Amino acid sequence: MSEAIIQADNLVKIYKTKDIEVVALQGLDLTVNKGELMAIIGSSGSGKSTFLNMIGGLDKPSAGKLYVDGKNLFQMSEKELVDYKRRDVGFVWQNNGRNLLPYLSAYDNIMMPMELNSFKEKRERAEMLLDMVGLSHKKHNRMQEMSGGEQQRIAIAIALANSPKVLLADEPTGSVDTKTSNYIFDIFRRFNEELGVTIVIVTHDVGLSKKVQRVAAIRDGKISSERILKEDFQERVKNHGKEGFDWHEADSQDEFAILDRAGRLQLPHEALEQLKLKDNKVKIVLRDGKVYLENPEAKDMLNNEQG
């Protein structure tokens, strides 16, 4: 089995103001293995960005545990947390202005956060990262001389400057077109495969989410389901930019409901709609080693229709 690098255990986050209390996470459990390239999806307010901020050391839970590379994030001193954010995790934001200094060149932006021993090592890594994001020819350009997509590619390089173990990306393709989104995904995939960095992406981009190996869906502050890439789509991911294929329409992943530690699961909205429940009760039937959920009034409804 792969070794876990991120382990979230029963995370709860409650935001309180004088007049209101909002539960952003309510018992979230998730494991991410070393070397994974995965996505987290969910509607606005579902808790996905809150969870990403916790992994990044930017927020703490009201309850629960979170380990990254064996470190308990919620028992760190302030100094340990600062070191963690500098060395262990990289962050790419939708608003790339949070990553970039506009008065510096692309090359200097990437050099800025580095903590390597020598200038030669810093220079070599900056040039390697520029090459991997396809922007070596713009190393001396400042940010205003680049397109939004190019700025986002530089932001990815900056996030990887200190060789973090985990790269977190919050809506990295949210403000670019489909062609640029495909290019950015290729960059993530290349860094994942060639450098072995674990990558977690929060996204609303359907096309991007259908290309990753695993997608965790958050609903009402908990993991409700996971989607796993089908084997016959593995090669298509590598060639997606070279063929006319619509990933938005692709049935590329198998979906699984997720049991929590108490054996509870969230049913998809479509399933609940088909059951046509009048209240919150369902009938559980075990038949031939399978579990079926039925509307307890279904037979009565059928008899009434037939009568």
List pLDDT tens digits, range 35-63: 999 999 988 888 899 999 999 999 988 99
Indicate if 14 and 78 belong to the same structural domain. yes
User: Tell me, what CATH number does 81's domain have?
Assistant: 3.40.50.300
Domain span at residue 71 reads 1-88+202-266
Segments of the chain scoring below 50 in pLDDT: 1, 301-303, 305-307
pLDDT tens-digit map of 185-205: 999 999 999 999 999 999 998
pLDDT score, position 301: 47
Indicate if 234 and 284 belong to the same structural domain. no
Residue 233: CB partners within 8 Å, gap ≥ 6?
A: 250, 252, 253
From the list 87, 86, 62, 57, the residue with the least C-alpha distance to 72 is 57
Indicate if 26 and 2 belong to the same structural domain. yes
Indicate if 284 and 212 belong to the same structural domain. no
pLDDT score, position 246: 80
pLDDT score, position 13: 92
pLDDT score, position 220: 86
Q: Does 47 fall in a domain?
A: yes
Q: Does 54 fall in a domain?
A: yes
* Alpha carbons 294 and 58: distance in angstroms, whole number: 43
Indicate if 210 and 288 belong to the same structural domain. no
- Number of compact structural domains in the chain: 2
Q: What is the pTM of this model?
A: 0.87
From the list 305, 304, 285, 306, the residue with the least C-alpha distance to 294 is 285
Q: How far lies 179's CA from each of 159, 173, 244, in Å?
A: 22, 10, 12
